[in-house]
A and B are shown apart, each in its own frame.
Chain A
């Protein structure tokens, strides 16, 4: 081969007049330029989706934690009502029932409500200055069950009614069942919302990937020309999408964590007001446990991984079309 038409130098061996080459390594441009992928819109979509998913998950965690607390509190109590009956002394019956309850193994505390306390309980409905003697008001006895004890309720009920025939035992099972179904419905709705958010994320990411591939079609074609396989090309794009997914997940998940972090302070500002008390009754202290924050972080990573997966799936489908 000739360089100038006179001196013959082979293409295979250029060694005889090889020019000096700068020794330093070059900073190579990325094969797929980052700016060519419409990243901002995708980061915003992933961030919003992650935020919504995190808020949903966090709220579900708060409601189920509060419901579990209520359930354990209510389940550890048994209420006995001793109704007045003609020919029976209600005070004696109440005392007999209380004695029978104290004798029951597994009962750690028995608290009979006095006449005055019973009147106090009725005060919101009947007003103050009530003479309880004139009304057939049942007497209430509350018993606390030792945590972890399984009480034989039928035997307990038999023992109490033997002592006081007009007594009825309520272990709040119906209330607990209703509570359980309510918290179950909340969790179910939360999972439904999460699934919708994830589907919306997959669709958005697929569209963004397709757009990016269309914009970079000339690059894909050249890479095919120089012998690059689909995996090689897909990996060049995938790295971008994984980074965009992580960025979006971090922003959305981080914003949600901050929101939950501040919610405790906000709940504190409203405590004592009717709204604050309602929220406190429903959602407890409104503070997420550390495991909740961990769950939100894991969810943000999951959404980033879903972004990468959806992008990879679309990439291979688009590469099939381009070839």
Chain B
């Protein structure tokens, strides 16, 4: 599904922050991406999401060499990837329901065809009562759950989550982890970037550890 070969990344003329990354993400797999702050976890997620291009090396996503993709092809591939960012990136003028339904709307689906699905998921992540609330009045944890719901609603083939439990209490953190596990069981490959050891200890999974720009894999 994802293959990196000798991938390096630097910003501008700065030092190389990711070096010689070679790894594969098999379909239906589950992995934690961890490492100290500033190790490059977010940069690696951005490479996986095609919002950054590598300075060197080969990135192959869903069987396609990303360096050869047009903008439209990148947009099509992104429809198969869900992403949860640390800063949530919810649209403030849309309700929680509309934010979560956005991927379906972009796909051009009728509202009636996905309404039930969106409401079910919102209830499941504990936002059933906050469906019509605008993001500025949501708490940090609620925003995070809404961002996760938006990332998983379209059942992506690959889910990337950057510190997805950073703003929620341990109970809700466990619940969100179970959501990711269930999503993985239904066929989605999951990569969760976190430095929360407690979270990682709750589920036996492959660990990708970034340290000083290099990747160490613990199966």
Contacts and interface: CB of A to CB of B under 8 A. Distances in A.
Contacts, number: 104
B161 interface: no
B202 interface: no
Nearest to A319: B71
Contacts of A108: none
Interface stretch (A115-123, A166-174, A217-225, A237-245): A217-225
A236 to B, nearest CB: 10
A25 B111 contact: yes
A177 B175 CA distance: 90
Interface stretch (B31-39, B86-94, B193-201, B211-219): B86-94
A226 B103 contact: yes
A222 B89 contact: yes
Given A14-B124, A25-B111, A218-B89, A228 B182 contact: no
B124 A229 contact: no
B97 A224 contact: no
Contacts of B94: 29
B106 A228 contact: yes
Contacts of B81: 227
B124 A3 contact: yes
A239 to B, nearest CB: 15
Contact of B116 (A21, A226, A227): A21
A11 B186 contact: yes
Contact of B105 (A5, A28, A219, A323): A28
A25 B113 CA distance: 10
Contacts of A14: 120, 124
Contacts of A9: 124
A223 B106 CA distance: 8
A11 B89 contact: no
Nearest to A3: B124
A227 B123 contact: no
Given A226-B102, A226-B150, A29 B79 contact: no
A10 interface: yes
Nearest to A11: B182
A11 B175 CA distance: 13
- Prevailing SS type, chain B contact patch: helix
A200 interface: no
Interface string A161-203: 0000000000000000000000000000000000000000000
Interface string A298-310: 0000000000000
A14 B121 CA distance: 9
Report, as a range, how many residues of chain A touch the other chain: 35 or more
B129 to A, nearest CB: 12
B186 A227 contact: no
B178 A1 contact: yes
A2 interface: yes
Contact of B175 (A5, A19, A28, A222): A5
Interface string B93-105: 1110110011101
Contacts of A218: 89, 91
A211 interface: no
B183 to A, nearest CB: 6
B56 interface: no
Contacts of B105: 28, 31
A234 to B, nearest CB: 12
A224 to B, nearest CB: 7
Interface string B107-132: 10001100110011101100010000
Given A19-B123, A323-B71, A227 B106 contact: yes
Given A5-B175, A11-B179, A227 B76 contact: yes
B119 A228 contact: no
B111 A26 contact: yes
Nearest to B124: A3
14 contacts: A3-B124, A18-B120, A25-B115, A29-B94, A29-B95, A29-B98, A221-B89, A225-B78, A226-B103, A226-B106, A227-B78, A227-B79, A229-B75, A232-B75
Interface of A: 1-3, 5, 9-12, 14, 18-19, 21, 25-26, 28-29, 31, 33, 36, 218-219, 221-232, 320, 323
